[in-house]
Amino acid sequence: MTILHDANSSVDPLGDGEKLEAENAKKNFAKVGSARPSSLLYTYGPGSIIDLPHFTVMPTGFDEWDRIWDRRDGQPPTVHAPRLLEAVRLMVGNQVAELRPFPWQPTANTFSREGSDLGVPARVFPQWLRCTGCDRLAPISAFIEGYKNTHPYRSDEAVFEHVNCYGRRGQAGGGKKRRQPTVPARYLIACPNGHLDEFPYSWWVHHGGSCPKAPIPVLKMVERTAGKGASAIIVCDSCQASRTMSEAQGADGRMKLPKCRGRLPHLDGFDTTGCDLEPRLMLVGASNLWFPAFQSIIDMPRLDPADKAKDDAVRLASVLGDDLADADVRTARLLLKRSDARDLNELPDAGLNTLLALAKAEPETEVEREARKAAWEPVDLLVPEWRYLQLEPASERHTDERSGLTLSPRDLSAAMPSGVSRVLAVDRLRKVNAVLGFTRIDDLDRVNDMGSRLVRLTRSGRPDWVPATEDRGEGIFLQLDLDAVASWEAKILDSDLWEAHRQAHWRNFERRFSETAKEVNPDERLRPPRYWLIHTFAHALIRQMAMSSGYGAASLSERLYAWPESDDRPAAAGVLICTTASDSDGTLGGLVSLSEKDRLAGIVNDALRVLTRCSSDPVCARRVPKDPEDFLHGAACHCCVMASETSCERANRFLDRRFVVSLPGPYAGLAYFGNHDG
């Protein structure tokens, strides 16, 4: 797919500000808002729409980000995470050379200007605005004269105003001219291929034609009711035509919309091959407008010698840079002395030669990469972490110097439930997250053809870097008895309750998954019973730990290790409850302090006891999906188990209290921990 792009329309807000300053004009500051790196990763990444106080913006693709980094001399900083970089290359392509942080620099205080040359480029989108004084509906060019953003420390005051607004009664009604703020027109059209476009208001109100009275008609958006879907009426003041937006809703409404133009606004271009998918009406704040695709790892040492050698080869290649092709052992040792990878100099010549050969090796072909990608599962990122967590720390607060991971062994209290076999305190950890792309309409786990459905982030479609964030924090790792879990899982797989969940998953898959997933066996997407067990257990722990740790429940997150044994991976049954922060100091130790054996046993027992009751019982406790129901949870609801989206890795799917503790009813004997009613 190629992108039709007008280079003259590229976003260059910083350059525009400098141009105005050079012309001695009142400076129009480029900054229009701020966002945390974590929100740019999970909620407001490239291609999404960010709500600002007075208008909305869309972060652009990486082509514009390169121009921001080019404003500084030298190479942009990088994020070191070889295992994550391997996963990114597998998903996006071997041309990805590095992970980069977001273009941001901390300031000394509120009034400091360091880092003002950096920032995530964005364009105003949608660019159709509505005047709050007279309801006029027009593109941004009609209101550009009223753009105001001149306060260097109040970017939130940036606003587009209608300069000559006479109010809803108009000039004939005796109204006086005044400046009125505008707001974004809230309708868009989108398609499952990730295309997004402005709603064609003039085309719509004139039923696919043009206004018979004026070449550029005067439009208004009139709201009859407040906040009830597509409730607006589009009115043409030039010819008095009108049409409701509600006509564009639903399956019938889609047939009335124009053909998708293949627009990719974050790349400022169009797909030249067009698009044959049916577009649909979309609201600016819709939850299915943008789904991020990213991968995350907890940075841990790799135990496989081949994997360790690959990591060292990546570090060596980064140090050698452009000198890699001609470098020999002598050159490598000279450059390593002045780098952060100087520990590689301790290798003998033969070992360093091996790393040089690995660093210079030809990358795998696209055919090889696609074959490996087809066999890859997200669990593959978790397996090295699970293997490392199986090692007993050599001492209290044992630290791996390279990753910074610090683990402490913990004895089990006699009061700990027998199903828990092992506990580790994770005093320090580093979590790295990388952006791969995004989807629209359907979340990534609801589509099959990841390569084509994942929306590109560069006009070439093959980025040579992707942004990443680093979070530091702490956590507690709890492992369940693997033999006990295996015996319990065998019993669950033969139960009527599990068959009910399996059938509900089939119905959910058939009704809610993208058309592209039709060739996928739904059973391959259904998590095994041990996942339901550990997932529900993790949510109970998050709720209980939030009461004692000093962190809110939304600040705690789960990392689940739950899969049966297979040829290429050992069985896993454990959970890491952690909290992270994006600053360099990480967190404050309130979570790790809960790992003291008697205190943790009390928390676990309290969490299990709380699971036996829900304010929605007996309805919640007896919930079993039956045809035509297709929900992906059992005895679980927001009153007892479900967690915030920042805590849960599966959007509150695959939860059932009956797998953890005994509840009244026919399935009381399926609980892993048995009866904990206290």
Cis peptide before 628 (omega within 30 of 0): yes
**Spatial distance between the Cα atoms of 33 and 162, rounded to a whole number of angstroms:** 21
Residue 571: give the domain boundaries. Answer: 474-670
pLDDT per position as a tens digit, 4-32: 545 555 555 556 666 666 666 666 667 88
Poorest-pLDDT segment among 24-38, 75-89, 189-203, 425-439: 24-38
* Residues belonging to the chain: 678
Domain boundary among 194, 226, 247: 247
Q: How far apart are the first and last CA of the chain?
A: 62
Closest to 127 (Cα-Cα) out of 293, 9, 279: 9
Domain boundary among 247, 276, 302: 247
Enter the tokens of residue 212.
């018979």
Enter the tokens of residue 66.
């390169």
Let me know if residue 539 belongs to a domain.
yes
Q: Is residue 127 a contact partner of residue 103, using CB atoms and an 8 Å limit?
A: no
Give the count of beta carbons closer than 10 Å to the beta carbon of residue 488: 22
Let me know if residue 460 belongs to a domain.
no
**pLDDT value for 501:** 97
Poorest-pLDDT segment among 29-38, 127-136, 597-606: 29-38
**Spatial distance between the Cα atoms of 340 and 79, rounded to a whole number of angstroms:** 13
pLDDT at 447 over 60: no
Domain boundary among 193, 215, 247: 247
Q: Is residue 332 a contact partner of residue 352, using CB atoms and an 8 Å limit?
A: yes
Does residue 479 sit in helix, strand or coil? strand
Burial of 31 (0-12, 13-18, 19+ CB in 10 A): middle
**pLDDT value for 635:** 96
**Spatial distance between the Cα atoms of 265 and 60, rounded to a whole number of angstroms:** 8
Q: Is residue 564 a contact partner of residue 669, using CB atoms and an 8 Å limit?
A: no
Does residue 82 sit in helix, strand or coil? helix
Strand partners, 476: 425, 577
- H or E stretch covering 547: helix 529-549
With a CB cutoff of 8 Å and minimum separation 6, the contacts of 623 are 633, 634, 635, 636, 637
Out of 298-307, 437-446, 514-523, 656-665, the most confident range is 656-665
With a CB cutoff of 8 Å and minimum separation 6, the contacts of 268 are 5, 6, 9, 10, 11, 60, 123
Where is pLDDT greater, at 517 or 254?
254
Amino acid (one-letter) located at 414: A
Place of tokens 């003039």: 202
Where is pLDDT greater, at 224 or 474?
474
**Spatial distance between the Cα atoms of 58 and 50, rounded to a whole number of angstroms:** 6
pLDDT per position as a tens digit, 557-573: 999 999 999 888 999 99
**Spatial distance between the Cα atoms of 635 and 520, rounded to a whole number of angstroms:** 28
Beta strand extents in 82-156 (DSSP E only) = 98-100, 122-124, 128-131, 136-139, 147-148
**Spatial distance between the Cα atoms of 616 and 499, rounded to a whole number of angstroms:** 24
pLDDT at 1 over 50: no
Let me know if residue 440 belongs to a domain.
no
Cis peptide before 126 (omega within 30 of 0): yes
pLDDT at 446 over 80: no
Enter the tokens of residue 578.
């952690």
With a CB cutoff of 8 Å and minimum separation 6, the contacts of 482 are 421, 571, 573
Q: Is residue 275 a contact partner of residue 191, using CB atoms and an 8 Å limit?
A: yes
Burial of 56 (0-12, 13-18, 19+ CB in 10 A): buried
Helix-strand-coil split of the chain, %, nearest 5: 35, 20, 45
**Spatial distance between the Cα atoms of 230 and 246, rounded to a whole number of angstroms:** 5
Let me know if residue 28 belongs to a domain.
no
Burial of 671 (0-12, 13-18, 19+ CB in 10 A): buried
**pLDDT value for 504:** 95
Closest to 184 (Cα-Cα) out of 165, 159, 149, 148: 159
Strand partners, 390: none
**Spatial distance between the Cα atoms of 300 and 305, rounded to a whole number of angstroms:** 14
With a CB cutoff of 8 Å and minimum separation 6, the contacts of 667 are 495, 497, 658
Poorest-pLDDT segment among 216-220, 455-459, 592-596, 614-618: 455-459
Let me know if residue 120 belongs to a domain.
no
**pLDDT value for 605:** 96
Let me know if residue 540 belongs to a domain.
yes
Give the count of beta carbons closer than 10 Å to the beta carbon of residue 283: 14
Place of tokens 């033999």: 483
**pLDDT value for 479:** 97
> Sorting pLDDT into bands at 50, 70 and 90, what band is 654?
very high
Percent with pLDDT over 70 in the chain: 90
Does residue 420 sit in helix, strand or coil? strand
**pLDDT value for 296:** 92
Let me know if residue 133 belongs to a domain.
no
Poorest-pLDDT segment among 110-119, 497-506, 607-616: 110-119
**Spatial distance between the Cα atoms of 75 and 596, rounded to a whole number of angstroms:** 45
Burial of 663 (0-12, 13-18, 19+ CB in 10 A): buried
Q: Based on the structure, what is the number of domains in the chain?
A: 2
Let me know if residue 451 belongs to a domain.
no
**Spatial distance between the Cα atoms of 490 and 508, rounded to a whole number of angstroms:** 24
**Spatial distance between the Cα atoms of 584 and 433, rounded to a whole number of angstroms:** 15
Does residue 630 sit in helix, strand or coil? coil
Mean pLDDT along residues 64-84? 84
pLDDT per position as a tens digit, 294-343: 899 999 988 888 888 888 888 888 788 878 888 888 888 888 887 877 78
Q: Pairing between strand 122-124 and 187-190?
A: unpaired
Percent with pLDDT over 90 in the chain: 47
Mean of all residue pLDDT scores within the chain = 87
With a CB cutoff of 8 Å and minimum separation 6, the contacts of 434 are 81, 84, 85, 87, 88, 99, 294, 295, 296, 466, 467, 468
With a CB cutoff of 8 Å and minimum separation 6, the contacts of 86 are 310
Q: Is residue 577 a contact partner of residue 558, using CB atoms and an 8 Å limit?
A: yes
Q: Is residue 196 a contact partner of residue 184, using CB atoms and an 8 Å limit?
A: no
Mean pLDDT along residues 491-515? 89
Q: Is residue 488 a contact partner of residue 531, using CB atoms and an 8 Å limit?
A: no
Does residue 520 sit in helix, strand or coil? coil
- Phi, psi dihedrals of residue 306, rounded to the nearest 5°: -65, -40
With a CB cutoff of 8 Å and minimum separation 6, the contacts of 626 are 500
